[in-house]
Amino acid sequence: MNSQRTIGKEVTIAGIGIHLGVESRLTFKPAEPNSGPVFVRTDLPDSPQIAANVTSTMNGVVRRTSVGSQEVSIQTIEHVMAALAGLKIDNVTIEINAPEPPAMDGSALPFVDVLRDAGIVEQDTPRRKLQLTETISVKDGDRELTLIPGDSCRMTYSFKSQSPVSITQLASIEVNEDTFTKEIAPARTFCFQYEVEALQSQGLGLGGGPDNVVIIDDDGAPDHLLRLEDEMARHKILDLIGDLYLLGSIPRAHIIAHRSGHDLNTKLIQKIAESDRRCRRMSNTSTMEPLGTNEIKKILPHRYPFLLVDRVIELEEDKRAVGIKNVTVNEEFFQGHFPQEPIMPGMLQVEALAQLAGIILFRRKEEDSIGLFRSIEKVKFRRQVIPGDQLRLEVEVLRRKRNVTRFSGKAFVDAELVVEAEFTVVL
């Protein structure tokens, strides 16, 4: 069995963050199967948790990859995520006392070393596999990323800089634990001299220095002896691996990149995630025995006519769930909404997503609690839901803080998105 993995013991690493310039202490701890990588901000009240996955990825953040929200986030996580990906560590709790991990030497190698010191432990749970059957591509001007499904993972990166210094590098690597550790993890962060002042004026690169950044001058000469001949292209592959691991696993594919950065990487992983969901919806595969109505009633307090989840077909503990709601013409709400043209009320679609979220929250809890909405945001209704439709409900945990949990939810009919929302539930 291709099993999930965690670490054997708690380990800590510390240093200064490259962009914010703040001292940071990172502690890796073992975690249960299906929990994924989760950051815990120990410097904030109630130590909020942020799951490092594609759903929590923040758009519009330049020169780095961040997860969370405008209120609570972790920035510049790509090197940490790349180390986890390269060592195939699925589940880990990452406590951090700052908004940004330490940069260390500007590569992923220090994180690889400390995680190996912790020991890697196989868990008795299979790894989740991405189901990709189609070529996926994203483009922005002359920058492009293309994924071609295959039997193994190969990454090809074409690096090219122009004025005032022209540098071209090409790296193509079959990615596995050995090649990652030896040929990718050591590649360091680099920056061109002419970029430094502009970055710092934006509040970035404040922790950058000779210990964690290779500076390229206007003649194309680095201020450090390079570790690898094509170190810039390989560092871009390192960043791409870290960003891809927000999907939960690295896809078996040939991924071809030309001048891509974190913004384009984010667009690719979001497109990959949607393709994976579409494949799963069409194949309707399940890795668990479905929970039927009787089992759901043992978990949720809702009853007829307000129980809006008929089955649960996928469930990753404390992480995500997929459920089914069969919309029949006998639903009570159709008597008044509307008698001549029955349409399922949009807020009942959101309520169905919230009930599925409740199954994630309460399946393992024994205390007598109920979940209530604290907020509902980013709601979009894409099409009407009518009698005869089957809603496929998908809910993921975004972050958790004591008795408050934020979720992302989407519902589909025949693989077509009908509603999406983010919502917070308080116990």
The residues carrying an active-site annotation are 262, 337
Evaluate whether 372 touches 425 at the Cβ level (below 8 Å).
yes
CA distance 107 to 362: 41
CA distance 85 to 376: 33
Cα 118 to chain centroid distance, Å, stands at: 23
For 87, how many CA atoms within 13 A lie in the half-sphere containing its CB?
A: 28
Contact 159, 170 (CB under 8 A): yes
As to burial, measured by CB atoms within 10 angstroms (0-12 exposed, 13-18 middle, 19+ buried), residue 2 is exposed
Pick from 278, 276, 235: which is nearest to 257 by CA? 235
> Cα separation of 339 and 336, whole Å?
6
> What pairing do the DSSP bridges indicate for beta strands 154-161 and 167-174?
antiparallel
- What does the alpha-carbon distance between residue 212 and residue 205 come to, in Å, rounded to a whole number? 10
Helix axis angle, 78-86 to 109-118, nearest 10°: 50
